[in-house]
Amino acid sequence: MTSGAIGLDLAEVSKSNAPQVLDVPAAPGLINEKNEKTLVIDDRPVLTSDGSLRGPEGEEYPTAEEIEKLRRVCGVVPLSAYTIAFVELCERFSYYGTTAVFVNFIQYPLPDGSTTGSSGTDRQSGALGLGQRASTGLTTFNSMWAYFMPLVGAYMADQYWGRYKTIQISIFIAIVGHIILIISTIPSVIAHPDGSIAAFSIGLIIFGVGVGGFKPNISPLIAEQYESKHPQQYIKIQKSGERTIVDPTMTISRIYMYFYLMINVGALIGQIGMVYAEKYVGYWLAFVLPTILFLCCPTIMFLMRNKYARRPPTGSVLAKALQLWGFAMKGRWSVNPVTTFKNMRSDDFWESVKPSRLGSNKPVWMTFDDVWVDEVRRGLKACTVFLWYPVYWLAYNQMTNNLVSQAATMELHGAPNDLINNIDPIALIIFIPICDMFIYPGLERIGIRFTPLKKIAWGFVTAALSMIAACVTQYYIYKIGPCGKYPSETTCSGPAPINVWVQTIPYLLIAFSEIFASITGLEYAFTKAPKNMRSVVTAVFLFMSAVSYAIGEAFVSLSADPLLVWNYMIISILAAIAGAAFWLAHRKLDAEEDKLNFIPESSFKGRQMSQGGQAA
């Protein structure tokens, strides 16, 4: 929304990395005549006889010169973070395993002789027989609902409950939703489709509320496990003798990469496993198994409750942040939107509303310090980054609908058409460790800083390339297929003579785009939000997916023969243009990456905190 100098140069970044060195008189008998300086940390002096800055556990902080020149490496991920990643795996197994069979459950009728919806090898599974329009409507609603509710879940966490408690409450709500969904699949209930769809719809709504409270809070919680122990950069000497900087931002990036890997492990197993459960046993099993695994989530969270780093809720900081922005906008509005936009990007936009600048003229509600203004500015900058994401998700969402339909018009060689899209999670499971262990460190070794905004821009590029690959494939389906531009018609004599595994190309490109854009979005939300607004900023990132689903409705008319080539072409062009515009709009912000990451933490925590660290 705005630009403006934060006022931190590299030297100040270095200062923010460590407490300030002060000349402190030593107790008699503890200091020799060298007049050494001490490092004051939490009122406890730590001697620095070699002139270096050191933390409470003896860690050495980098100087401004070292921050600029030394290679950066990742730190050690704590065990508590791995347990949270496993909780996410179980939750994603339950979500994707359950939703994977929604379409068939709603759209197709019970197979002859079946009471559970199972079909065996050669028939189509189904239950309610309500048709494609009903199935599309309900599954689209579920997707939008699941990505809208994080705004509510995040607000409750930051305002009232804190992340841990909100997650546990949300898990309970989701379990209730799971149980109602199971009830809708009982054979005696399926026999009455009106009752079954009513129970299913109620379960869907409750399930989405639980998902909405879980998603925006589990993501910040996992990164806080490392940040609580190592909030600042420090020096590490490698076995080779090389001095390197252990960078919290890089470590958090690694945490989110493996967090995302666990998401895809859960999704992959859930989707494949529940499709077979649906086909050979029935829908009740396809809904029961995800619920059973989901019960691991509250169990693990409870057992680890005393091991997790937890931040207490801090009150209505979102309202105060918006109030601050409104105060900064006074006198900057114009009937000309261009003028208003320029005023919002002026260098003094945020500087002019810092309490120190206002002095005695500051309003009574301004109970925070200057640093919190910088934190809010940084968080709102992250939200402006996320505003570009609906175009990215528009390309990504082709994987779950149009590319599945495209597969059905090619030679499958025994593979189900709705199984091909699992190339994406498989590719992520393979390439996330490769990026983490080889590609990203390799770029760092040769002096290339692959910053978050650069990754996001490349995510748009690879998404555009994926849509180009899909467009070319669709062109040849129309060109050499026996049914011309109508291969999806039921009267079509056969598939186009193209092996379905050619779709490996767009799915691989989509996977790389997720590594660059989707994972980095979670990382950016965490590292750039004020600490007492992390859930809300993460929810804004997730909400962009709901916006994308709404935009996708405008492309429904293109999502059918003979217009699919145009569909993929337009989306690829939009993604490419958005990627270029994104970089042009944010390249200056990219240059501030270190400054933004190392803004000192504000003393403002929202409502007053008691000495025990709980909200008063």
pLDDT of residue 64: 84
Instruction: Please indicate whether residue 415 or residue 10 has the higher confidence score (pLDDT).
Output: 415
Closest alpha carbon to 155 in 484, 532, 555, 420: 532
- When pLDDT is averaged across residues 413-431 and rounded to a whole number, the result is 89
289-340 confidence digits (pLDDT tens): 999 999 999 999 999 999 999 988 877 688 889 999 999 999 999 999 999 9
Minimum mean pLDDT range among 2-11, 106-115, 391-400: 2-11
CA–CA distance, 129 with 116 (Å, rounded to integer): 13
- The model's confidence at residue 53, banded by pLDDT at 50, 70 and 90, is confident
pLDDT at 563: 92
Give 109's DSSP letter.
Answer: B
Residue 186 confidence (pLDDT) = 96
> In this predicted model, what pLDDT tens digit does every residue of 525-563 receive, in sequence order?
999 999 889 999 999 999 999 999 989 888 888 888 999
What are residue 450's phi and psi, to 5 degrees? Answer: -90, 80
Q: Report the Cα 73 to chain-centroid distance in Å.
A: 23
Tell whether the torsion through CA atoms of 302, 304, 305 and 309 is positive or negative: negative
pLDDT tens digits along 245-261: 999 999 999 999 999 99
- Cα-trace Rg, the chain: 27
Q: Answer positive or negative: Cα dihedral of 22, 25, 27, 29.
A: positive
Q: Are 534 and 220 in contact (CB under 8 A)?
A: yes
What is the SS3 string spanning 451-518? CHHHHHHHHHHHHHHHHHHHHHHHHHHHHHCCCCCCCCCCCCCCCEEEEHHHHHHHHHHHHHHHHHHH
For the cut 50, the answer to whether the pLDDT of residue 615 exceeds it is no
Write out the two tokens for 3. Answer: 């630009």
Closest to 153 measured CA to CA, from 542, 532, 533, 535 = 535
Assigned token pair, 183: 């009830």
| Per-range mean pLDDT, top range of 50-54, 133-137, 502-506 | 502-506
Span 99-127, average pLDDT: 89
Instruction: Centre a 10 Å sphere on the Cβ of residue 37 and count the other Cβ atoms it contains.
Output: 16
Query: CA 480, CA 303: separation in Å to the nearest integer?
Result: 59
Per-residue pLDDT at 38 exceeds 60: no
**Model confidence at 612: pLDDT above 70:** no
Give 371-393 as a 3 state SS string. HHHHHHHHHHHHHHHHCCHHHHH
Average pLDDT over residues 209-230: 95
